[in-house]
Amino acid sequence: MKPSNKNSGYELIHSYLTALDNSPGVYRMLDEQNRVLYVGKARNLRNRVSSYSRPSPSHSSRIARMISETASMMFLTTSTETEALLLEQNLIKQLKPRYNVLLRDDKSFPNILVSKEHSFPQLKKHRGNKKEKGSYFGPFASASAVNRTLNQLQKVFMLRNCSDSIFSNRTRPCLQYQIKRCSAPCVGRISEQEYFKSVKDAQNFLSGKTTNIQENLAKEMKRASDQMEFEKAASIRDRIGALTQVQTRQGINPRSVKEADVIALHVDKGHACVQVFFIRAHQNWGNSDFYPKISDDMSTAEIMEGFIGQFYNSKEPARLLILSHEPENSDLITDLLSERLSRKVEVSVPQRGERLELVSGALRNAVGSLNRKMAETATQTKLLKDLAKVFGLSSTPRRIEVFDNSHIQGAHAVGAMVVVGPDGFMKNQYRKFNFKNENLVPGDDFGMMREVLERRIRRLSKEDPDRGLGMWPDLIIIDGGAGQVSAVGKVLADLGIEDVAMVGVAKGVDRNHGKEEFYMLNRPAFALGKSDPVLYFIQRMRDEAHNFVIGTHRSKRSKTISANPLDDIPGVGASRKRALLDHFGSSKRIKSAHLSDLKSVDGISSGLAERIYNHFNDT
């Protein structure tokens, strides 16, 4: 049943009550365009919806505004309230309703992986789903934190970080061995048993069991010294020093807390910052800050619940959560996280002791981070206003999309888009474009820019046709002069887009910073003063797009260069690839090899030899 929109919000919501029972579930409030305004959960759907069906002094201005905009509602019942909480957070993440707490940065965190799919396990950084067999340690707060730790661990335990393909094709030790960061198992410089011992030591260290490691290394150093193997003793001494350094770099290491996520919330003037510290193996593995979108009238309990629900939607929680504020429905949060981890999760809001020290430290960081963020936002807002004046925009842009392309004489061409808003660069909105037009002439910059913009506008028209999700840009900036502006202008006109401003940025005659010229449709080219803050702002946006597309281009080129044609043949793994390369010497010779020669390689069956031959000679 869908009530008539002529009713007021309260009356409309009240008309649903007769069809609701006391089941737990999730409700959605929608506006006249069927856009979701709010997603909520309830222990008792009828009672919860009833609270919106009549005016109340407890309703904040936000809630009253939401009710007045409600034109229809949708309901989903669940078996338990925990299921309702999970469903609520999934829908919030997917639909991004305007009146909910929204976590804007939902990135995954890196881990350290000790792989178990090889007889000589690899030590490496891992991000994403844990599909590969091995031991995972983390999460770490950032890639840089993982890289620093890996760098030190390689000095201490000398485990390999090369891929299985490189490992299988080595014939002599690489540079990592020369600088004493790898024990060169690829060429037999260490036995499998000795290497496995180093792997176990690395796993023990990452689990917080460091005392025995240092004691054993000290004994080895003394034994080597007593036997007058001074070079070996010096090497072990360096490993002990590296171990001490990596322990120091972990920061504040709690004594009584082995594993925890420390979450501190600070709210000021309608803005919020959440600091998350990761404690693993009694070590501080770094922190990250988040700035969820909130409303002025949201309580700290509501914000904390919304953050935790969305943050752990795709992440594994620690066994202990140490919080600065009690969340709403703390019991539900505990049940949900325990179910996700398949073991008990404790939620603590400490009042004393080391836990309080940890969360107080996180809270100090949250206060400082929010103050800096608000100062940066104020500066960014002024720059956006001044930019609107320079380009004659009717309003201050909320979203700017900057486009650039990169190639080398037409090869490995790639396009990229970066996004800028009131909070600065929106890196989770960046996009890469591999060109699909087979008729595109290599090196045709106009054609590449035309394809990128056409694909971007068509996607926007499909994903946000009513422009209600904030995905459409208010301003497009491209790297180029009059020709590129004309090409993009034609794309926009052909697609019926008339209300999106577009600017081309080209370096002046000397191609130096500070002499940029700006091009707009139906307006002569113009420049800004060298000391104009808006010029610096535009340069920063243009440089960010350039750096992003160059990085993307280099990655694509590197993958192409390092690709081995044998990788695409089913049944040819690392060992068979090595056997083929040892026999023929290069991929080029394998391509031109006769079928009988392929069959003569050890480990290559007749069937596989035919498959390899047909792969390279399929006409």
Interatomic CA distance for residues 325 and 264, integer angstroms: 7
166-185 confidence digits (pLDDT tens): 888 888 888 888 888 888 99
User: Which range has the top average pLDDT, 66-70, 208-212, 480-484, 584-588?
Assistant: 66-70
- Say whether pLDDT at 617 is over 60: yes
What Å distances lie between residue 39 and 91, 106, 340, 487, CA to CA? 7, 19, 22, 43
What Å distances lie between residue 85 and 51, 88, 583, CA to CA? 19, 5, 60
User: Which range has the top average pLDDT, 157-166, 221-230, 394-403, 603-612?
Assistant: 394-403
> For the residues 597-611, what does the mean pLDDT come to?
86
Interatomic CA distance for residues 473 and 399, integer angstroms: 5
Among residues 19, 28, 17, 13, the alpha carbon closest in space to that of 68 is found at 13
- Residue length of the chain: 619
> Can you give the pTM of this predicted structure?
0.58
Task: Pull the structure tokens for residue 570.
Answer: 């089913």
Give the number of other Cβ atoms within 10 Å of residue 423's Cβ.
14
Task: Pull the structure tokens for residue 17.
Answer: 């009550």
If you compute the radius of gyration of the chain from its CA atoms, what whole number of angstroms results? 30
pLDDT on residue 595: 85
Task: Pull the structure tokens for residue 299.
Answer: 């309580």
380-400 confidence digits (pLDDT tens): 889 999 999 999 998 999 999
Interatomic CA distance for residues 608 and 598, integer angstroms: 9
The residues, any chain, with a CB within 8 Å of residue 614's CB and separated by 6 or more, are none
72-130 confidence digits (pLDDT tens): 888 888 877 877 887 787 788 778 888 887 776 656 778 888 888 788 888 888 887 78
Phi, psi of 543 (to 5 degrees): -65, -35
Q: Is 212 or 435 the better-scoring residue by pLDDT? A: 435
Q: Which domains does the chain have, with CATH numbers?
A: 9-95 (3.40.1440.10), 116-249 (no CATH), 260-372 (3.30.420.340), 400-560 (3.30.420.340), 565-617 (1.10.150.20)
With vertex at residue 145, the alpha carbon angle to CA 144 and CA 151, rounded to the nearest 5 degrees, is 85
Interatomic CA distance for residues 181 and 591, integer angstroms: 36
124-160 confidence digits (pLDDT tens): 888 877 888 888 887 776 777 778 778 777 877 888 8
> For the residues 20-37, what does the mean pLDDT come to?
87
Q: In the structure, what pLDDT confidence band is assigned to residue 6 with cuts at 50, 70 and 90?
A: very low
Interatomic CA distance for residues 39 and 100, integer angstroms: 7
> For the residues 506-518, what does the mean pLDDT come to?
69
> For the residues 44-66, what does the mean pLDDT come to?
87
SS3 613: helix
Q: In the structure, what pLDDT confidence band is assigned to residue 475 with cuts at 50, 70 and 90?
A: very high
Q: In the structure, what pLDDT confidence band is assigned to residue 508 with cuts at 50, 70 and 90?
A: low
pLDDT on residue 249: 44
* DSSP 8-state secondary structure symbol assigned to residue 102: B
Tell me how far apart the 2 most distant CA atoms of the chain are, in Å.
Answer: 94
Q: At what angle do helices 211-226 and 230-249 cross, to 10 degrees?
A: 160
pLDDT on residue 384: 93
pLDDT on residue 4: 40
pLDDT on residue 243: 63
Q: Is 271 or 107 the better-scoring residue by pLDDT? A: 271
Residue % of the chain over a pLDDT of 70: 88
- Say whether pLDDT at 413 is over 90: no
User: Which range has the top average pLDDT, 14-18, 239-243, 440-444?
Assistant: 14-18
- Residue in this structure with the two tokens 């120091």, named with its chain if needed: 248
Task: Pull the structure tokens for residue 584.
Answer: 């023929």
Residue-averaged pLDDT of the chain? 82
